[in-house]
Amino acid sequence: MGIMRLGHVNLCVMNIDEAIEHYVNILGLALTHRDQDGTAYLKCWDEWDKYSVILSPSDRAGLDHFAFKVERDDDLDVLAAKIKERGVAVEILPAGKLPMCGRSIRFHIPSGHVVCLFAEKEVVGTAVGNTNPDPWPDGLKGAGVHWLDHLGIVCPFDPEKGINKVAENAEFLQEVLDFKLTERGMVGPQNDIMFVGFLTRTSTPHDIACVPGPAVGLAHIAFFVEDWSAVLKAADVVAKARKTPALTPNRHGLTRGATFYMFDPSGNKNETFAGIGYLAQPDRPLVTWTEDELDRGLFFLGGGDKSFVDSYT
């Protein structure tokens, strides 16, 4: 019942052809649909729904919206009522408003990000099918990522002015949308100010990460790959294409994931994230990172310099 997983992210890109080239040849997604205006829809090989990434031509980078898939159509009514009860406006959108999806609802979370929920999206199947599937398909390009795993959103944070949208989002996502807070990074003399919040609806360590920044934005979108060697391969693919890696392969203390970051041609950050990390069972105790250890929490092997951590679109 309720939200199953991240359904898609809709990114704004400044050159649609370069963006498609990046997501297809570097990350290994497949282009599944184009709109007349150039908007592109893509999926990873191990996903069955029609798309998990929408690239919209724009004069800026960053997020248009992101969407979670709920299990049943009537979950939309239950969650819309809970969101309204919280005093947040909800738009009910007819089938097709989210392309190739059934009806959906649309609202803003406390940080200001636009979130949609939908129950149905056109199913096209994985690249290996459902009958006696091979472990991977032939002809994979680039990093050959499996699926969209999570996204990181930048939330306005200025505790001296009483602004902490990281904490407000974490509360809203838990209380209204039934997310589980798996890990948090705390700052301040008493370590009582939430600086980072990781939340999940699946059994993976996070489906959404809320991180602090000066304004509403996108930190990154992350794709699952199998293991350390797949992370290294993603880094090799970027280096081989003479593109600049955002960060050399590393490990997160938070989630324990092995990780590598790159930029798409518009500057949106992409992460290739390996391993399950741990099973986020419903009764798993909350993990806390304190301010003095937070750098190790973010990048356990070091090297996550400030300009990288602070960059967003």
Give residues in contact with Fe ion (CB under 5 A): 222, 271
Residue 207 interacts with, from Ca ion, Fe ion, none (CB under 5-8 Å by kind): Ca ion
252 is catalytic: yes
CA distance 136 to 278: 23
Distance of CA 263 to the CA centre of its chain: 14
Q: Which is nearer to Fe ion, 101 or 153 (CB)?
A: 153
Is the distance from CB of 44 to CB of 108 less than 8 angstroms?
no
146 is catalytic: no
In whole angstroms, the minimum distance from the beta carbon of 273 to Fe ion comes to: 6
261 is catalytic: yes
Query: Any contact of residue 272 with Ca ion (CB under 5 A)?
Result: no
- Closest to 75 (Cα-Cα) out of 5, 7, 6, 2: 2
Q: Which is nearer to Ca ion, 20 or 148 (CB)?
A: 148
Residue 20 region, left (φ>0) first, then alpha (ψ -120 to 50), else beta?
A: alpha
Residue 183 interacts with, from Ca ion, Fe ion, none (CB under 5-8 Å by kind): none
Name, in order, each residue with C-beta under 8 angstroms of 312's C-beta and a sequence gap of 6 or more.
Answer: 62, 154, 213, 217, 218, 219, 269
In whole angstroms, the minimum distance from the beta carbon of 276 to Ca ion comes to: 9
Distance of CA 12 to the CA centre of its chain: 14
Could you tell me the sign of the dihedral formed by the alpha carbons of 106, 109, 115, 118, in that order? Answer: negative
Question: Which residues 189-208 are close enough to bind Ca ion by CB under 5 A?
Answer: 204, 207
User: 53 has which bridge partners?
Assistant: 9, 42
Q: Which of 23, 113, 150, 312 is catalytic?
A: 150
Q: Which of 23, 146, 252, 312 is catalytic?
A: 252
Quick note: the x/- pattern for Ca ion over 144-163, rule CB under 5 A, is: -----xx-------------
CA distance 260 to 183: 20
In whole angstroms, the minimum distance from the beta carbon of 9 to Ca ion comes to: 13
- Which tokens sit at 86? 């919280």
271 is catalytic: yes
Q: Choose one: 51-59, 117-125, 142-150, 297-305; the region binding Ca ion (CB under 5 A).
A: 142-150
Residues forming contacts to Ca ion in the complex (CB under 5 A) are: 149-150, 204, 207
Q: Which amino acids are annotated catalytic?
A: 150, 206, 220, 252, 261, 271
